[in-house]
A and B are shown apart, each in its own frame.
Chain A
């Protein structure tokens, strides 16, 4: 595959083949759907949130190797984070994808392996799909909280 080593490295393919967090939660705190208008991929993301901390993440849906691997990595990276921390990590990942920040492995975990995707603008949207869904889920949760309060 020559020049595609950045895109299809072992760690990414490992997450693609053995997706972390694939499946559904019994009664998720918040659930959102996200689609990639570019390729028609549609994903469903569920979060459990306890005392302002993301405790569980599950996802279903279809996507290419990059979007599925990224979703799997996101599931690992955000579990255990407070909502503010999680949003901060999502933003950091977004900046890394746009080539504006150097990836920080402490925050991104395995998702650091996706840093090279920034060189493929068309695939950046694939990599961001799950992360944008997570951001959407947290914002939806907070909005709904305000409405109840």
Chain B
């Protein structure tokens, strides 16, 4: 766990991110789409580059020095991530992304375990990645997917959740921090309630792990999924942290090289955790990059990252609140929410917002944010979303809000 760290010096820290010094359409880049993917520090780029330049070899096989070094760096990446989220290394499974981590659980646990009439409870604020795999499982097993409603204030309706939880509930899938609303959900409480009826819990931490201290064992959930590229790491790598007893009770997801203990013509036995779930040559450079990202964030301090983002989000919410006619979705208190702020304007479609302010170098997301059921609940087809990270400054938010005003004038 991170200890209390010094506040972030944004100007100094930005020098670690080469891309932040570029311009777009002649204006300085103002990157406010870190909820989609984060930018990468030199430490991550160098770690991946060094692997290919210095120690490229396949892992867990060769007896020669190069292979041993590659394996040490790959497993070192796992160790760094495990340390960052407080999990034992054998329960940290490396996947392609968060979606694959959730699909691993859906296929290796859900399809083998669930029966007709069993219920899978997810929330209306889930990303598609924590909805669609369960709909596929339901289609195969006859289980039913139910949705926990979201209140008008953008929080989970915990009374409704309690009412929906029954002995039929076998799995609860919940997002830790909403990628649309910014809401931070009470995942430890949800886990206690779900366990009380015998259900397992999968938490999607894609928007929490990059931005705040997270200690997975203290949440108590059975599965915790997140992705590398939103936490300063590369694309192509994600993480599934599982409770060891549950992972041990499960059959593999994908079969192939790496994940076996023995293979005969009659059948095969599986490798120990976590490799049982890592079939084939893994994304080696990506795991090394992810490890470097975890080390970078740990050195800055997740407490400091969180404190910086609470300040930025408060500034963003204040500045946007001044915009005439704006609707801001999600909690309005920066202290209890994440840094993704979705909004809509009555006279300007999100696509037009994103296109017009791009001319001033500002990157925001427009669309349904892979959360169409939530869009329906909010009564909109799409929103615009600005999201911050440790490298953003209050001045950038001011540039963004000014650009928003200019966009509005342009289409008036």
Residues of A at under 8 Å CB distance from B?
1-4, 7-8, 13, 16, 38-42, 62-66, 120, 123, 126
A2-B25, A4-B356, A8-B411 given; A62·B351 CB < 8 A: no
How many residue pairs link A and B with beta carbons under 8 A? The number is 52
Instruction: Determine if B25 and A64 form an interchain contact, defined as CB atoms under 8 angstroms apart.
Output: no
Tell me, rounded to whole Å, the shortest Cβ–Cβ distance linking A118 to chain B. 15
B145 at the interface (CB under 8 A from A): no
Tell me, rounded to whole Å, the shortest Cβ–Cβ distance linking A8 to chain B. 7
| Residues of B with C-beta under 8 A to A123 | 351, 355
B368 at the interface (CB under 8 A from A): yes
Instruction: Determine if A62 and B352 form an interchain contact, defined as CB atoms under 8 angstroms apart.
Output: no
Map CB proximity to A onto B365-395 as digits: 1 under 8 Å, 0 otherwise. 0111000100100001110000000000000
| Residues of B with C-beta under 8 A to A63 | 349
Map CB proximity to A onto B336-368 as digits: 1 under 8 Å, 0 otherwise. 000000000000011110011001000000111
- A87, B351: Cα distance in complex, Å: 28
Counting from the closest, the 4 A-B pairs by CB-CB distance are: A64-B349, A64-B351, A40-B368, A40-B381
A62 touches which of B355, B356, B366, B381 (Cβ 8 Å): B381
Instruction: Determine if B382 and A4 form an interchain contact, defined as CB atoms under 8 angstroms apart.
Output: no
- Could you name 20 residue pairs across A and B whose Cβ atoms are closer than 8 Å? A1-B356, A2-B25, A2-B26, A2-B359, A3-B25, A4-B356, A4-B359, A8-B411, A13-B411, A16-B411, A39-B366, A39-B367, A39-B368, A39-B382, A40-B368, A40-B375, A62-B349, A64-B351, A66-B352, A123-B351
B410 at the interface (CB under 8 A from A): yes
Tell me, rounded to whole Å, the shortest Cβ–Cβ distance linking A14 to chain B. 12
| Residues of A with C-beta under 8 A to B375 | 40
- A41, B383: Cα distance in complex, Å: 11
CB-nearest residue of chain B to A65: B352
| Residues of B with C-beta under 8 A to A41 | 381-382
Q: Which of A3, A41, A123 has the most CB of B within 10 A?
A: A41
Instruction: Determine if A40 and B352 form an interchain contact, defined as CB atoms under 8 angstroms apart.
Output: no
| 6 additional A-B residue pairs with CB within 8 Å, beyond A3-B25, A7-B355, A62-B381 | A2-B359, A39-B367, A40-B382, A65-B351, A65-B352, A66-B352
| Residues of A with C-beta under 8 A to B410 | 1, 8
- A118, B395: Cα distance in complex, Å: 34
- A42, B372: Cα distance in complex, Å: 12
- 8 Å CB interface, B391-412 against A: 410-411
- A41, B382: Cα distance in complex, Å: 7
- A7, B351: Cα distance in complex, Å: 12
B367 touches which of A2, A4, A40 (Cβ 8 Å): A40
